[in-house]
Amino acid sequence: MTTPVGPLGEFELIRLLRARAVPHPGVALGIGDDAAVLSPGRPGSSLVVTTDLLLDGRHFLFSECGAEAAGYKSLAVNLSDLAAMAARPVAAFVAVALPRSSAAEVALGLMDGMAPLADRFGLTLAGGDTNAWEGPLVVCVTAIGEADAPGPITRSGARPGDAVLVTGPLGGSILGRHLRPEPRVVEALALLESAELHALIDLSDGLASDLGHVLEASGGLGACLDAEAIPIHSDAFRLADQTGRPPLEHALGDGEDFELCVIVPPGAASALLASPPGGVRLTRVGTIDDGPGLRLRSPKGKIEPVRTRGFDHLASRGDGDAG
């Protein structure tokens, strides 16, 4: 828990945040100047940049979870995006609109949530911006990673015949896991070293929706998922008791699981499943074909189309809405 603090000016707050930021060799100059300076990466590597904006009432309920949980999630979802490109985290930039009545305390609480995660993945908080207003908490994180060849891995490289794998059980994240996502950075880097990866995406909007993004980006391909192969989280069963919807439906559409969907050639899939690198948890859930469209095969062999569903930020409410 963050220790309550008295009123602080913007620059004193920045000084405190700067003192808590951990250096990184890829960041030549971090918090404290008009801009940060990043050192060039290794020869043959690429810089990968992602950003996410999280809102109180939409992505978390600040009155219930507090600043530390909001900070953790805000950084974790960006690390998940870096994992989806098989990139090593380097630096993050955090811009916040803080509730004026408790701006300094909230800012330090956000840092309490982010700092251990940054330390664990070797990332430095290298800059950002702080503002205070009468509205709710808003946190925008921009993260930068470094991807070595053959990365970065995009979502556009799937090919007919490829296997579809996932790194963990799905569904029901709204029961609490949506606040503590586990970025699969280590898993992505281990997979990159061990197999030919055709496509990667993190499951932020739901398996059906995110795999649909892969199919579209790969030229309008299709896929068939095996219903009995999809790993369903125990939370999906608990949520099904509340909603009356089948657990499989939650696994396909809830979102905010932040597992990886991994698209690899069939031979690579067999090798990975037989000997997962570094203990990476993998389940084969389907196959890419020239479709088009996403389909689901029942345990009895019946094949039906899957409606692409999941969280939509511009909809009134998506299946994966955590607010």
* Block residue for tokens 């979870």: 65
210 phi, psi to nearest 5 deg:
-70, -40
β-bridge partners, 147: 46
Is 202 flagged in the annotation as binding?
Answer: yes
SS3 231: coil
Is 321 flagged in the annotation as binding?
Answer: no
Which residues are CB-contacts of 215 (< 8 A; sequence separation ≥ 6)? 158, 221, 222, 223, 288, 291, 292, 293, 294
Is 176 flagged in the annotation as binding?
Answer: no
**By C-alpha distance, which of 102, 166, 109 is closest to 136?**
102
Asked if 29 contacts 37 with a C-beta cutoff of 8 angstroms, the reply is yes
- Say if residue 150 is preceded by a cis peptide, omega within 30 of 0: yes
Q: Rg (Cα) of the chain, in Å, rounded?
A: 20
SS3 88: strand
Number of alpha carbons in the 13 Å side-chain half-sphere of residue 114: 31
Is 257 flagged in the annotation as binding?
Answer: no
- Do strands 124-133 and 88-99 pair parallel, antiparallel, or not at all (unpaired)? parallel
Is 56 flagged in the annotation as binding?
Answer: no
Is 81 flagged in the annotation as binding?
Answer: yes
Is 198 flagged in the annotation as binding?
Answer: no
Is 312 flagged in the annotation as binding?
Answer: no
**How far is Cα 88 from Cα 224, in angstroms, rounded to an integer?**
31
SS3 158: coil
Is 167 flagged in the annotation as binding?
Answer: no
DSSP element (H, E) containing 83? helix 62-83
Is 213 flagged in the annotation as binding?
Answer: no
In three-state form (DSSP H/G/I as H, E/B as E, the rest C), the secondary structure along 283-300 is: EEEEEEECCCEEEEECCC
Is 311 flagged in the annotation as binding?
Answer: yes
**How far is Cα 277 from Cα 202, in angstroms, rounded to an integer?**
19
Is 171 flagged in the annotation as binding?
Answer: no
Annotated binding residues = 34, 50-52, 59, 81, 128-129, 155, 202, 204-205, 256, 311
Known binding residues for Mg(2+): 34, 50-52, 81, 129, 202, 205
Residues tagged in the binding site annotation for substrate: 59, 256, 311
Q: Which residues are annotated as a binding site for ATP?
A: 128-129, 155, 204
